[in-house]
Structure 1
Amino acid sequence: MFVNYLKALIILHLTLLSTSGDIYLTRSSWFGLDVLGSCQLEIGAYAKVTRRSYCHRLANMATDIYQNGSNGNAQHDPQRTYQVVVAATRDMGIGKDGNLPWKLPSDLKFFKEVTMTTSDPSKRNAVIMGRKTWESIPPQNRPLPGRLNVVLTRSGSFDIATAENILMCGSLNSALQLLAATPYCLSIERVFVIGGGQVLSVGLTHREEGDLGPVYGFQWRHFGAEYTDMHADYTGKGFDQLSAIIDKIKNDPDDRRMILSAWNPSDLKKMALPPCHMFAQFYVENGELSCQMYQRSADLGLGVPFNIASYSLLTCMIAQVCDLLPGDFVHAIGDAHVYSTHVRPLEEQLQKQPKPFPVLKMNPLKKDIDSFVASDFELVGYDPHNKIEMKMAI
Structure 2
Amino acid sequence: MENEISELFRLASKYFFKKFKESGGSQGQLAIEFGVTQAYLSSVMNGSRSASFELYNRIANRLYGPLDKYLAVGRNIKEGREPLANDKEKSEADGVESLIARLTYYVMDHRRIEKEIHDLKIFYESIVENLQSAVLVMDKEHKIIYANKYLTKLAGIRPEQAIDLNTFDIEETIPKLKFGEFIAKYKEAAESLAPLFFENLHLETPISSFNYNSGWLIPLLSEDKSFKGMICTFRDTSNAHALFSILAQSIEYLPDGVAIFKQKSAGEFPVTTFANKKIRKILGVEDRDSFTLPFLDLFKEAKKTVVNFKEWEKFIKNDIKTNAVNTNFLIDLSNEKSFEVTGNPLADQYGLHIGRIIITREKRQRRTENK
TM-score computed with the length of structure 1 as normaliser: 0.21
Structure 1 or 2: more helix by fraction: 2
TM-score computed with the length of structure 2 as normaliser: 0.22
Q: Based on CA coordinates, which of the two structures has the bigger radius of gyration?
A: 2
Which is bigger in relative contact order (C-alpha 8 A, separation at least 6)?
1
